[in-house]
Structures are given as C-alpha cells and as structure tokens.
Structure 1
Amino acid sequence: MAEARELVRDRGPIPPTRQFEWTVVALCTWLMAGAYLDSWAHRHLAGLETFFTPWHAVLYSGMFAILAFLAITALRNRDRGYSLPQVLPAGYSLSLLGCVLFGIGGVIDMAWHLRFGIEVSLAALISPPHLLLMLALGLIVTGPLRAAWRRQLTRAPFTAVVSASLLLSMFTFFNQFDQPLVNTLASTKAVAPDTIRYLQQLGILGIMVQTALLTGVVLYLLSRFTLPFGSITLLAGLNGALLGSLEQHFDLIPIAIVGGLLADLVMVWLRPGPDRVVALRFASFIGPVAVSSLYLGFLQVTRGIGWPITLWLGSIIVSGAIGVLLSYLSVHPPIPRVDIA
C-alpha cells in the first residue's frame, strides 16, 4: 500500500535522459495523432459500425507502444535494484498508470460499443468510456511536462512544450464540436434567421473557449518557466495541425502557426512572467487579440464573414479580456497582511 502511494506521488530519483524524454514525446504524439485520426474517420467515412477499425488500431497501438517502452524501462531499473516507486524518472509513473487506465477504458469502450452501438457526433465525444480515456490520455501525455516541472529548471525544455501542446490537444479533441479551426461558423451566411443566431452564438463561444484553453496552457507554463522563442508557435501549430485536419481545413493550419509566432514575438517584446506582472497582463490581452484578429481576418479574405462587424470585432476584444482574466488566476494580486493587534 505504501509503495502504491509512492508510485502515485511520482517522485522517482532517476534523472531522465534526453533520448528517453524525446522517445516518450514521439510516442505520445503518435497516440494523440491516432485519436485525431480516429475522429477524422468518424467524420468522413460512413459505416464505421465496429470497434475493430484501422483508426482504432493506430490509436491503441500508440498507447501500447508507450506502455511497452515505460514498462521495459521500469523492469530494467527494477533489475538494477530500484524499488517499485523509483523505477521511472519523476513525472513518468503517472504516465504508466495512465496507460493501464487507458487499456481498461479501451475494454470498457469496446463493451459499450457492443452493447449500445457506435456513437456519432457529440455523443461520441462525451460518452462515459471516452471521458475515461480522456483522463488516461491526459495522464500519459503530460509525463514530460511533469518531469520538467519537478527539475531545477527555469527555462522550459521543448519536451515540456510539446507535452503541453498535447495536453491542449486533448482538451480541444473533446470540444472539437465547437472549435474555430474545425467549424468556420463565422463564415456562415445564407441560413434561416433563427439558425444564424444560433450559429453566431456557437461561433463566438468557440472563439472564447479556444482562447481560454490556449491562453490557459501558455500562462500555466509561464507560471513556472520562461519559454524559449518558438514555444507558442510549436504549441499552437501542433494543436492547429491536429484540429485543422479534422474537417480538412488545411489552409487554416498556417494561420495557427503564424498566430503562435505572433504570440512568441509578443513574449520577446514584453518578457512576461510572475516577476513582470504588468507585462503579463498586457501580453495576456495582446496575444489572444492578435490570434483572433488573424483568424477572422483570414476568414474574411478567403471565405467571407457572415457576422456583422459588432460581433466579430466584439469577439476579438472578448478574447483579450479572457486572457487578462486568466492571468489573474496565473499570478494573483498580492494578499495584504492582516495585523492582529
């Protein structure tokens, strides 16, 4: 029981090698790409009425590859005399537990499909087995981020940045039904008035949620590290590539990359961080505003925007406001001391 608690605490003393961490990052990317590939198949291929598909094979083979790699590493370190809670570097024991949980979730998912059939659309994203898989996926892909967090580092390694991007992609996978890079609702025009109001609300909500997710992950990283130039480009670009592929909006993927680059330039300009709070607040506003403006501007040029100017301009300002509000969760104002007489 004590060993199990130590395993969950995930404080192994073995320092991870560069090769080990990049291998985990590559395998986690394989796993996440498999999840998005499976979603693409459900969107574009009719008649997927079985659990046993090539797309599920890519997804679950990625999970088993991570499980095998971590398990082999753990067994080797066990043979070297390390106790069970110490067989993996700090941050990676929870990834191993996530693999086990993912396997359990996969069995439950298969039974669920056999009993209730294959879910479609929104039901496929929020079915109970898939939510269990989401939890497991989050534990798996955040191993490199946890590992970097626990080391005496001030600058985020790119393994942690990719890990954070995969965490972001896990969240966006489960709200892909209202993602600006998946559904370009701002360009919708010729529909009934009641429908257009609904689509406008959904489209603005999508921009708000994506702003909160992307900005939240960046601020989380900034609360612990300084970020090397290119970090947000990599983070937003990888996430954008996965999202843009779902409905084959490949022209929007460069927009995600350029948006990340703009945010990186804002970081270089302002150097935000916990010790530069005003710069952090300002960057939290400017970054989302720049990204939202770029996205909506590109839609206007390529597809045309069906929203009145009040809506699309207001959504840009709201995205900046969301960034500022999130910055207060990342670095809160100082708490005044209470003098007790």
Structure 2
Amino acid sequence: MGSTTVSSDVTEGVGLPVSSRTFDAVVAVFSLLTVAGIAADFRSHAAGISFAEEGFFTAEHVFFYSAFLVVAVTLFAGTAHRRSRGLDWVAAVPPGYRWGIVGVLVFGFGGVGDFFWHSAFGFEESFEALVSPSHLTLAVGSVLFLLSPLRAAARRGEDADTAFGAVPVVVSMTLALAILGMFGGFVNPLVRPYPHFEWESMRSVVTMLVAWPLVYVGAVVATLRRFDLVPGAFTVAFGVAAFAIVQVEGYVWLLVPAVVAGVLADVFAVYVRRVGIGRALRSRAFTAFAAGLPAAFVTVYFTVVDLTVGIDHSYLQEGLFNWSIHVVVGAVVLAALVGVLFASVVADGRAAVTTEEVS
C-alpha cells in the first residue's frame, strides 16, 4: 500500500547522488537534536529566563541553532553536489527536500528575527513564547524541514512496514508533532493538568480537549495514505512527541493519554493494512476510530488528572465553571461527535478524489 510514486528527479538523474536513507538519517539525527534543544529552550522560557541576565546565546539557543546549521549545511551541500553534475538548482534539490530547503530558509530568517526580537523586547515567558512572531516563524520553518525525511521516503516509494524502514517516517512524524505540540500549546491539554487549576477557563480547556485529538487523527490519516507502518509506530511517535511537551512543566504522567491514542492508532493501522486505505477511510471502522480516539483521549486525560493532582470542583462564580459530571462527560461526547464530523469530511474528500481519478 505504500506510495510507489518516483520523483522525476530520480528517473531523470540516473547515476546522480540522490536522497537516500543515509542522507535522511543525517537530517533526522540533527533534526532530533534541534527539537531537543527547542524543548529545553521552552522549559527555560516556562521557568522565566531573563534576557538581561542570560543574553541571547543561552546554552539552549547555541545547542539547537548549531544542530539546525548542520541540517542546513547537509541540505545545501547535497543540492550543490547534484547541481555540479548538471542539474539546475531546482532539480538539484534531493527528492522530497524542496519544502525542506524552504523550511531551512524560513527557520534561518526566524532565527535572525528571534535575536533582534529578544534584543528589543527581552525573552518571552509562558504563553508569550507560543505566540511570539519570531517563534512562530521558527515553528513553521522547522515543521517544513522536519518532515523532509518522510517526504523523501514517500517519493522513493519505500516501505515502512519494518523497524528499519519506518525510522525516517516515525522520526519525522514524531518531531513534527512535538513542534506542533509545543508551539500550539494554547490548544494542547498535555502542557499541564488544566482541570486541576481553578483559574483556568473551562471553555478554553474543553476546546483544547476537542481540538488536540484531531491532530492525532489527522496525522494517522496523512501517514497511512503514504505508508504501511510497522506495528507500534504511532504509539512511539505520539508518546515521544508528548514527552517533549510534558517535560516543559514537568507533568510527565500526562504522557498516558497520548500513548493510549497511539495504541488506538496502531490498531486502526492494522485494519488499514488488511483492507487498504481507500476502503478503510470510507468504512464505519474509520468513523469509529475518529470518534473513539478523541473520546478515549479525553476520558483518560480526566482520569489521570483526577488520580494524580485532582480535578478542581470549586466554583469561580455561583453556578458556573464547575467541573461537574455534566461538563466532564459532555467533553468526552463532544470530542467524539467532532471526530465523527471529521471522519465524514475525510471520507467525502477521498470519495471525490477517487471519482475524478476513475473519470
């Protein structure tokens, strides 16, 4: 079921060095180090780092910008080498890495902007770090180059149904989810046990609980359309990405709902391998999965919070903002209903594409 589309760069550039698993591995390893440094930087921002005391070149900044430079040099060196063999600059970019090159340029621009932003306004703290313009630029650029090994594997038509073959796909997916989870912290309930804090807006928390599981469902659909994945791939990807998120404020046990979501995704992946992605996305099984994963995620999230730090049941206003049974169960049901809506949209879109291809 894995993609069999081969890049024109590959077919036209026979004998030329192209992206390979070794090339992907170099990019993936230093992308991993980049994200690890970004995660450590987020922890520093959450702790209230001082620009006046630390300056811009903190240990975290030096670490992740250095790792990023290795990624950038690798991509541009590979492109220059292919260019020296007669291809134009666009065709010389290794297959699957064109958006990666764009991402490197965007990230580099964001890094320069980050320096001037911090110099002018100091370091962001807490929520500020999520919406800072320079940080958002870094987020967009990083996601583009982090997904490059996955795109390269898809362009080569490689399978990911073995542990070795799945590495570039799982690493890319994991790192992209980690970045989305950190920079999208305002819609990510894994950042902290929100129902424990009476000052958190209940409306915002319910919105997070409905929105974030759809990221997982979307990642599953996007990945399975291109690859057969080795069992356990989603559990690893969701769990490791969640760890990058929960370590920022130290609520490590919030890993549990993410891991549960990964297990359900792996179960659905087994079904997809049996019937094919086209049939699976138009089946009742997909609707059940798209509703069941969010419902399970929210249920486990509330359970874990209640068993560890406890859910706040006090009133902020008389008769309002109470984490009552109505709100808790309602959030589970709402997440499931939105998942059903998501499944119907995906199924209709898939059917439309199939009809056009047949005609």
TM bucket normalised to smaller: 0.7 to 0.9
1:143 deviates by: 0.5
1:331 to 320, 344, 347: 347
Partner residue, 1:301:
307
Q: In structure 2, what is the equivalent of residue 139 of structure 1? A: 144
Q: What fraction of aligned residue pairs are identical, expressed as a percent? A: 28
The answer to whether the 8 A contact 2:192-2:246 is kept is no
Shift of 1:159: 1.3
Match of 1:55 in 2: 60
Matched, 1:246 2:252: no
Q: Equivalent residue of 2:348, what SS?
A: coil
The alpha-carbon deviation at position 245 of structure 1 amounts to: 0.5
Partner Cα distance (2:228, 2:294) in 1: 19
Q: Does 1:282 align with 2:278?
A: no
Pairwise CA distance, 1:215: 1.6
**Which one of the candidate residues 59, 66, 73 is aligned to 1:68?**
73
Alignment partner, residue 237 of structure 2: 235
CA distance in 1, matches of 2:181, 2:62: 22
SS at match of 2:128: helix
Aligned partner of residue 246 in structure 1, secondary structure: coil
Match of 1:97 in 2: 102
TM-score (normalizing by structure 2): 0.80
CA contact (8 A) 2:220 2:265 kept: no
For residue 123 of structure 1, the aligned residue among 117, 124, 128 is: 128
In the alignment, which of 26, 30, 34 is matched to residue 27 of structure 1?
30
Q: Which amino acid aligns with 1:164?
A: M
Distance 1:150 1:250 in 2: 36
Q: Which amino acid aligns with 2:334?
A: V
- The aligned counterpart of 1:6 is none
Aligned to 1:219: 221
Bigger shift: residues 205-214 or 86-95: 86-95
Find the residue that maps to 2:115 and give its secondary structure: helix
1:12 to 9, 12, 35: 9
Instruction: Find the aligned partners of 2:142 and 2:345 in 1 and give their Cα distance.
Output: 25
CA distance in 1, matches of 2:63, 2:329: 41
> Is the partner of 1:70 in helix, strand or coil?
helix
Query: Which position in structure 1 is the counterpart of 2:319?
Result: none
Return the offset for 1:124: 2.5
Corresponding residue number in structure 2 for 1:162: 171
- Change in Cα spacing, 1:200 to 1:257, as seen in structure 2 (3 Å) is same
Q: Distance in 1 between matches of 2:216 and 2:260?
A: 14
Shift of 1:167: 2.0
Cα distance between partner residues in 1 of 2:210 and 2:289 = 17
Read off the aligned partner of 1:289 and give its amino acid letter: A
Distance 1:18 1:154, change over 3 A: closer
* TM-score (norm. length: structure 1): 0.84
- C-alpha distance in 2 between matches for 1:66 and 1:22: 11
Partner of 1:7: none
Give the Cα separation in 2 of the matches to 1:58 and 1:321: 43
RMSD over aligned Cα, in angstroms?
2.6
Deviations along 1:298-319, one digit per CA (max 9) or x if unpaired, are 2222222232122222222222
Structure 1 counterpart SS, 2:64: helix
Q: Secondary structure at the match of 2:278?
A: coil
CA distance in 2, matches of 1:127, 1:88: 31
- Are 1:180 and 2:189 an aligned pair? yes
Q: Cα deviation per residue 1:184-206 (whole Å; 9 max; x = unaligned)?
A: 11223xx4xxx4xx532222112
Q: Structure 2 regions of 5+ residues with no counterpart?
A: 1-6, 11-16, 313-322
How many residues of Structure 1 are paired with residues of Structure 2 in the alignment?
321
